[in-house]
Amino acid sequence: MSDTTWQPGNPIVTGADYVASLRGRGLEVWLMGERVEEPADHPIIRPSIDAMAATYDLAVADPELATTVSPYTGERINRFLHVTESAADVVAQNRMQRRLGQLTGTCFQRCVGMDAINSIFSLAWDMDEELGTGYHPRFVAWLTGMHRSGLVIGGAMTDVKGDRSKSPSQQSDPDVYVHIVERRDDGIVLRGAKAHQTGAVNSHWLLVMPTLRLDPTDGDYAVMAAVEVDAPGLRYVYGRQSCDSRSMQGSIDVGNAGFAGQEALVVLDDVFVPWEHVFMDGETAYTGELVERFTAYHRRSYVCKSGVGDVLIGAASLVADYNGVPSASHIRDKIAEMVHMNETIYATGIGASHEAHQTAAGNWEPDVMLANVCKQNVTRLPYEIGRLAQDIAGGAVVTLPSEQDFAHPDIGPVLEKYFAGRDGVVTEDRVRVLRLIENMTMGRNAVGYLTESLHGAGSPQAQRIVISRRADLDEKRDMARRLAGIDG
């Protein structure tokens, strides 16, 4: 990443600006039992920062794809900060997400914030219209500031939950769901924790949201608020990922030498939020609608996995070529199946966006049914794509000696000889693509491609519940009766 002249207070434009904006914030970040002095310089954290930086660099390289004009400032902004103004805007988000998946091969961490922006925008409008609250202008004022500064907004929805059979107010420990512990004249105080928070350490702000439909007894848990990442009382415990320590051991064994995702536990230990950054305070009746709107946006956002899938398909094709069998019929068939599944993910996600509808607030949200079908596909198909990639790669994907062995003057030449592929292929190139497949299907970036595909934006059962609710079987039965000649 090149140097930058960016200074605090200036808009963030490039990836280098973004990296500079993360320095010197004094965040309390813990990783492997130690407090991290400067996250931007930690070898395990830095790849996730560089993946986020790619969202800025794409906006510079391809402004038509990754930027748009702010309705509040009149200036061009990163598309991740945009309130959708048409179905075409919703579709453009998906196209940008797939491209970034192709460029990074991992989770680039900004989708949650983008989807939270659009969900809160419409819900705050509805609450104002029906209850006379003033949340929507507050939110727009805050968002306008984000447009001027170009900051990263993260979304914080998932609570740690404790006993899943009990509601938040029934828990023996009230802090297992984020809640308001004090209301002051100038704001509120939050306590609790948010789990599995994508890109939290790499963000500038977090949008805190309730994680499920709440009962009237859960009023203190019905809170939406914008919180600065460096606010007093915030603590971050960085999540371990498979093979993440390889980032400290060279470049070949890492697999994806440039980029990685990030998850963290975010602890809110009596964090103060001024009223101008509070967008819900006790309106439990609206929490279910918030969750449904957010998950509709976010579940169709999983078209990003098709971009990551493009990389894995390319790696499988490449290793087949290095092994000398690119034209074998069974290889061609497996790769065709991988492409079919990958495009199925993209088709359902972008179909949900094409079928977007306008909300009363004026922004556009994707079709709920197709969004959930997209995410249901994502809970399954990447696993099969990954299995086929491993099948094509062969056993070496998990039995390769280390990078240090290949570099050793004595044993290295022996490995160079016996891990060679077809004539004309550099052995190191074959090793690198095998490590990439390992990384994406079992290693660090398998978190973003597989596990996140399964549990991100809700478990598979959560999507099946929505699909069942919206299936309208009565209408389908009427269609069958009419064509079968059965009276009403």
- 355 is known as an active-site residue: no
| Distance separating alpha carbons of residues 143 and 22, to the nearest angstrom | 20
Exactly one of 111, 196, 441, 449 is catalytic; which is it? 111
Give 239's DSSP letter. P
Strand 153-156 vs strand 205-208: parallel, antiparallel, or unpaired? parallel
- 289 is known as an active-site residue: no
For residue 281, give the H/E element and its range: strand 278-281
- 243 is known as an active-site residue: no
Exactly one of 221, 277, 298, 346 is catalytic; which is it? 298
Exactly one of 302, 322, 346, 449 is catalytic; which is it? 302
Q: What is the DSSP string of 97-153?
A: HHHHHHHHSS--S-HHHHHHHHHHHHHHHHHHHHH---HHHHHHHHHHHHHHHT--E
CB atoms within 10 A of CB 404: 13
The two three-digit tokens of residue 154, written as one number: 């993260």
Exactly one of 263, 292, 365, 403 is catalytic; which is it? 263
Position of tokens 């592929």?
Answer: 421
Q: 72, 143 in Cβ contact below 8 A? A: yes
Exactly one of 283, 292, 365, 452 is catalytic; which is it? 452
Largest CA distance in the chain: 84
* CA dihedral sign, ordered 212, 202, 301, 393: negative
| Distance separating alpha carbons of residues 112 and 27, to the nearest angstrom | 21
| Distance separating alpha carbons of residues 120 and 278, to the nearest angstrom | 11
For residue 434, give the H/E element and its range: helix 427-441
| Distance separating alpha carbons of residues 105 and 47, to the nearest angstrom | 11
- Return the closest-CA partner of residue 52 out of 153, 157, 145: 153
Q: For the chain, percent helix, then strand, then coil, each to nearest 5?
A: 55, 15, 35
Local structure of 418: helix, strand or coil: helix
- Return the closest-CA partner of residue 270 out of 184, 162, 158, 212: 184
| Distance separating alpha carbons of residues 86 and 203, to the nearest angstrom | 27
Q: 125, 360 in Cβ contact below 8 A? A: yes
Exactly one of 14, 198, 348, 441 is catalytic; which is it? 198
Rounded CA Rg of the chain: 24
Strand 234-238 vs strand 179-183: parallel, antiparallel, or unpaired? unpaired
- 42 is known as an active-site residue: no
Exactly one of 107, 211, 238, 346 is catalytic; which is it? 107
Exactly one of 55, 304, 322, 449 is catalytic; which is it? 304
Residues 6+ apart with CB under 8 A from 400: 419, 431, 434, 435, 438
- 111 is known as an active-site residue: yes
Exposure letters 216-250 (e unless 16+ CB within 10 A, then b): eebbbbbbbbbbbbeeeebbbbbbebebbebbeee
Q: Which residues are catalytic?
A: 107, 111, 198, 263, 298, 302, 304, 452
